[in-house]
Amino acid sequence: MQNAVIAATIANGGVAMNPYLIDHILSPEGTTTSTTQPTSLGQVISSSTADEIKQAMLEVVESGTGTGARISGVEVAGKTGTAETSSSTADSC
């Protein structure tokens, strides 16, 4: 969920939205009893920073390690895996 919020924030020009899983709730009779409204969490990164990150994510799919995700006629952005490395020599126990 966190990665989806991050990607959506970048696509939304730096404005984060509160995520939700349920759009609406229906009664047994089929009438809507509750509807979720989108809520902004605010501008969490500048639009220029979001645009720079978006461009980098587009390049991952266009010419980087994510070319397998290309879809003809569709603008696709992606983020490939992130490796964690450690140079620590301390015992982990």
Average confidence (pLDDT) over 1-21? 96
Is the per-residue pLDDT at 90 higher than 70? Answer: no
β-pair partners for 34: 25
Dihedral in degrees, nearest 10, Cα atoms 13, 15, 16, 21: -70
Is the per-residue pLDDT at 92 higher than 70? Answer: no
Name the token pair of 91: 């015992």
Confidence of residue 89 (pLDDT cuts 50, 70, 90): low
Locus of tokens 């509750």? 34
Three-point CA angle 24, 28, 29, nearest 5°: 95
Q: Which residues contact 28 (CB under 8 A, 6 or more apart)?
A: none
* Res 82: pLDDT: 72
pTM of the model: 0.73
* Res 79: pLDDT: 87
pLDDT tens for each residue of 30-78: 999 999 999 999 999 999 999 999 999 999 999 999 999 999 999 999 9
* Res 87: pLDDT: 73
Closest C-alpha among 13, 6, 12, 7 to residue 48: 13
